[in-house]
Amino acid sequence: MHPAHSTHPRSRLIVLLLAIIPCVPLLSTPASSQEESGQPLPPSFLIDTVFIMGNTTTRDYVILNEMTIRPGTPVTAELLQYDRARIYSLGLFTLVDLSVDTLSGNRILNVVVSERWHYFPVPLFGFRDGEARKVYYGAGFLHNNFQGRNQKLFASAVFGYNPSAQVSFYEPLIDPVHRLSFSTAASFSRVRNKSEIEAEATGDFNELHYDFGVGLGKRFSLFESGSLSLNYQVMEVSLYRPGRTVSDTGIDRFFYTSASYAYDSRDLREYASRGRYIGVSVTKYGLGTSDVNFARFGADIRGYLPLSSRFTLAGRVTGSIASGGRIPTYARMYFGYGERIRGYFRDVLEGEHLLGSSVELRFMLLPVIVFRMPTDLLPEQFTVWQFGVSLALFADAGTTWFRGNPLSVHDFLSGYGGGIRFLLPYGIVARTEYAINNLGKGQFILDFRTPF
């Protein structure tokens, strides 16, 4: 349910600012990429050769495919840092170092990496939606660099709150000539109903999700990619009520297909400081004779503008719009689970459509440092650790609504505040924040996810 909305002028001002400010980094041109700006960077030297060292398992092309620097490319300190972050974002290495060697008379770029442990059992434990009463636990097996080709093989079984089981495989380069990727996955989950509207009517109930799908993707360039997928899903509710499923049997069986496009020039995906991300998708639910027949259009646009060596202005706009036939409860959109509005972090908003916006001013208090643990204590793959500390000021706004209801600025909930983030080994971001919403109420937030 929506918390009470405020019509105070300050609330409207926050929402209007959040509609404008994120556009600044979204429309900016990162200084680190020649391909984006169309302007040549000031060359300091040209590279003749790229040497890659330390990758005992990972194929060279996996690293080279993430780099903007090539033989004959003008190299600057910014480009070296940008490519280092891109390679680290693969999630395959604990250490990435780029340096130039000109002593031999040749201009050589040395790329030195230290590989992570690529296959291991994964203990799974946590709290769904950040709530202590929603404990889940289990185990999985991950191979995140199968055959050294950045292939991902994963299987897991989870118990406790919202138990599930899944197996998935992803091949990022099944066809090197056409740069095609392939993915497939099968999963089962028992999900506690998210709708507070439905819970108030009959109490909580469960949704049983059975899903199988295959996908084909294409990488058009260093930054651009697209994908198509075909999936089959069975969705069953434990307590039927009209609207919870499209079918009056309480079980929906349907195919759905999705097409997406992404442009991603971010340097470090876990906590970007420059670049932009643009993701758009359209999904058609229900093919053939199924009772299910609706579509969903989504967009997620993010931008990161470096203001100095330590300050970054970050912005995000996201939305999801549904059209077509009846939208069942399990296909509604929510704030309060995956997406959050700081200031209303634990409040649940639901509807058929969603719109949100965020802006952050980030300051790198302690730039990421790398240190090594003794090899006699840990395996080699676990000896390289990274750590950094960042401060941030932020503001969020968002709303959900149903078809037929008019949308106005008064429907948006908003909040602002500040916090501290800890950039931990293996790409983990821990953050603690304090937010004040548009009603003047404050709350502390502890989370282990990057806002965007």
| pLDDT mean values, one per 10 residues, the chain (452 residues) | 50 54 57 38 68 90 89 85 88 87 76 83 74 84 85 93 95 88 96 91 94 96 95 96 94 97 90 93 92 96 94 97 94 93 94 97 90 65 77 97 88 96 82 95 89 84
What is the structure's pLDDT at 183?
Answer: 96
Write the CB contacts of 94 (distance below 8 Å, at least 6 apart in sequence): 114, 115, 116, 381, 382, 383, 384, 385, 386, 425, 426
CB-based contacts of 392, cutoff 8 Å, min separation 6: 360, 361, 362, 363, 418, 419, 420, 421, 433
372: Cβ–Cβ under 8 A, 6 or more apart, which residues?
383, 384, 385
CATH topology for 31-115 is: Ubiquitin-like (UB roll) (3.10.20)
> Can you give the pLDDT at residue 225?
96
Predicted TM-score (pTM) of this structure: 0.78
**365: nearest Cα among 383, 390, 330:** 390
256 contacts 287 by C-beta, under 8 angstroms:
yes
Q: Write down the pLDDT at residue 271.
A: 84
pLDDT score of 421: 93
CB 439 within 8 A of CB 341: no
Q: Is 434 exposed, middle or buried (0-12, 13-18, 19+ CB in 10 A)?
A: middle
The sheet that has 49-53: what strands, in order across it? 49-53, 108-115, 93-101
Instruction: Find out whether 225 and 262 touch, Cβ atoms under 8 Å.
Output: yes
Domain ranges of the chain: 31-115
Which segments of 77-236 does DSSP mark as H helices, in order?
Answer: 77-88, 196-202
Burial class (CB in 10 A: 0-12, 13-18, 19+), 345: buried
Exposure string of 250-271, with b = 16+ CB inside 10 Å and e = fewer, is eebbbbbebebebbbbbbbbbb
Strands 119-127 and 135-146: antiparallel
Host H or E run for residue 14: helix 9-20
pLDDT confidence of residue 268: 82
Q: How many CB atoms lie within 10 A of CB 146?
A: 17
Tokens representing 248 are 């009056």
SS3 label, residue 19:
helix
